[in-house]
Amino acid sequence: MFVALSSGHGVSGRSHFHKKSGRGGGGQQRGGAKEGSVVSSPAVPPLDDHTQPVAPQPPRGIVPSDPATPVQPAEPCVFDVRAYGAVGDSTTDDTQAFREAWRAACASDNAILLVPSDGTFTITATTFSGPCKPGLVFQVDGVLMPPDGLDCWPASDNRRQWVVFSNLDGMTLRGAGTIEGNGEDWWNLPCKPHRGPNGSTLRGPCDSPTLLRFFMSRNLVVEGLRVENSPEFHFRFDGCSDVRVDGLYISSPANSPNTDGIHVENTERVAIYNSRISNGDDCISIGTGSYDVDIQNVTCGSGHGISIGSLGVHNSQACVANVTVRNAVIRNSDNGLRIKTWQGGMGSVSGITFDTVVMENVRNCIIVDQYYCLDKRCMNQSTAVHVTDVSYANVRGSYDVRAAPIHFACSDTVPCTNITMSEVELLPFSGELVDDPFCWSAYGLQQTPTIPPVTCLQEGLPESLLDNPDLKCR
């Protein structure tokens, strides 16, 4: 169940601004939570959405003269961060003001925590946690950003994440503003790929913060924001359910390392709609424990396309099921539609549908890689995550001729099965046609003629996969 939203991003109607009595001007030192602490809501149990108030009954024998007056929904209470001391001049640390505004909004029904449009607000790493009262909206109409790079990051703060929303039910993050990640200094660390001397990568700690993380929450809506230049992942959803993402614009340079646009793991019932994502890694990445993911009307620019995985690292079990990608466009990307798993893993990827996808100058348009490895030291192993029931329909466009547009590299012992292809038409962006798709241990069916022809799929189902307990998921 998703949260109902108003039609616009602005705050309309009568607003109630809440100020804390006796507060000084902006930039003044304030009491409250210590730096780096987790912001918790008051210990107030949330209302049960299914509990309805019992209307009073008139005395027996008396008929009311007028019909009952319908109950009007309560107007939202607006908690402007400036009312709690935020300055919004791009240099003042406004963390404490945001934390106090969150506490107040969390404890109020139908609250809007407002980041106003006429300011640029800087906050350090913070967890905004619940439970909160129903109807909470975190509205960013101005600019919100972390400190500018590693040198400005407080030593006591977590370097793996910046803003975390945790233990919430029914929250909306929206607005007409921008969340700016200030990621360039993080991308240039010598431990990042090709950032050391002479294009090398130096060993050592390489933590960089995810910009926005949602953890152990449900009934979430994220819409209408511009999010850019994250140090690492822009969005990460883990341990969540019933998530709707709509109308986002996510942007980072093509050479920014590991800046996935939206990452989903251990999360179910996810809708990602009507968004534009251009970055330096996966446009959307889907990790283990993800079920019922629906992606529609998404445009991916430079990066690594839409990826399921990587899965099964360090001999782990990985399960992903029921993922649909429909009406998508992928442009100038290293990959298009990719499934990647490590040797030695267990579990399965199943029920995957790619339908009506346009490729423009994509290097690896369709790829399944069960030999995924980040260096040359990976050993051959006999187990793998099973890839099965994958459909490609109405996939058209152009590819970079440096690689075959269709590539199925599957495990010898755990082959890919039930791959179906229909109305696939991929032509070179420039140069001559590459008409030799790669298949290894791949079983499936070419339902209609494809360009290039995929005659290398094998028929049937290998007996080695029958009743294999290592391939079972829920």
Domains assigned to the chain: 74-148+157-192+206-245 (2.160.20.10), 291-296+312-373+382-460 (no CATH)
User: Which residue, 368, 334, 330, 373, is CA-closest to 349?
Assistant: 368
Q: What is the pTM of this model?
A: 0.83
Q: How far is CA 316 from the centre of its chain?
A: 22
Reduced to 3 states (helix: H, G, I; strand: E, B; else coil), residue 220 is: strand
Least confident of 7-11, 146-150, 193-197: 7-11
Q: Output the average pLDDT for the chain.
A: 85
Instruction: Could you list the beta-strand ranges (E) of 141-248.
Output: 143-145, 161-166, 172-174, 178-180, 210-215, 218-223, 226-228, 235-238, 241-246
Type of residue numbered 35: E
User: Over the stretch 237-281, which tens digit does the pLDDT of each residue have?
Assistant: 999 999 999 999 999 999 999 999 999 999 999 999 999 999 999
SS (H, E, C) 308-320: EEEECHHHCEEEE
Q: Rounded distance, CA 171 to CA 364, Å? A: 38
Per-residue DSSP letters for 404-431?
Answer: -SEEEE--SSS-EEEEEEEEEEEEESSS
Is the pLDDT at 397 greater than 80? The verdict is yes
User: Which residue, 268, 369, 283, is CA-closest to 319?
Assistant: 268
Tokens coding 213: 């993380």
A 10 A CB-CB count for 196 gives: 15
- Percentage of the chain beyond pLDDT 90 is 67
pLDDT of the residue at 320: 98
Handedness of CA 193, 199, 204, 206 (dihedral sign): negative
Is the pLDDT at 47 greater than 60? The verdict is no
Q: Which of 234, 304, 386, 407 is catalytic?
A: 304
Is the pLDDT at 173 greater than 60? The verdict is yes
Q: What is the mean pLDDT of residues 79-89?
A: 98
A 10 A CB-CB count for 154 gives: 14
- Could you tell me if 305 and 275 are in contact, meaning their C-beta atoms sit under 8 angstroms apart? no
Tokens coding 447: 């339902």
Is the pLDDT at 15 greater than 70? The verdict is no
User: Over the stretch 401-452, which tens digit does the pLDDT of each residue have?
Assistant: 988 899 999 999 999 999 999 999 999 998 888 777 899 999 999 999 999 9
Tokens coding 411: 């495990």
Work out the widest C-alpha separation in the chain, in whole angstroms: 92
10 Å CB burial of residue 336 (0-12, 13-18, 19+) is: buried
Residue 304 catalytic? yes
49: left (phi over 0), alpha (psi -120 to 50) or beta: alpha
Q: What is the mean pLDDT of residues 77-93?
A: 97
Q: Rounded distance, CA 467 to CA 119, Å? A: 60
Tokens coding 25: 């001007």
- Could you tell me if 283 and 254 are in contact, meaning their C-beta atoms sit under 8 angstroms apart? no
Q: Residue 95: in which H helix or E strand, if any?
A: helix 95-106
Q: How confident is the model at residue 203 (pLDDT cuts 50, 70, 90)?
A: confident
Type of residue numbered 373: C
Main-chain dihedrals φ then ψ at residue 330, nearest 5 degrees: -130, 120
Q: Rounded distance, CA 245 to CA 5, Å? A: 13
Reduced to 3 states (helix: H, G, I; strand: E, B; else coil), residue 464 is: helix
Q: Rounded distance, CA 242 to CA 190, Å? A: 39
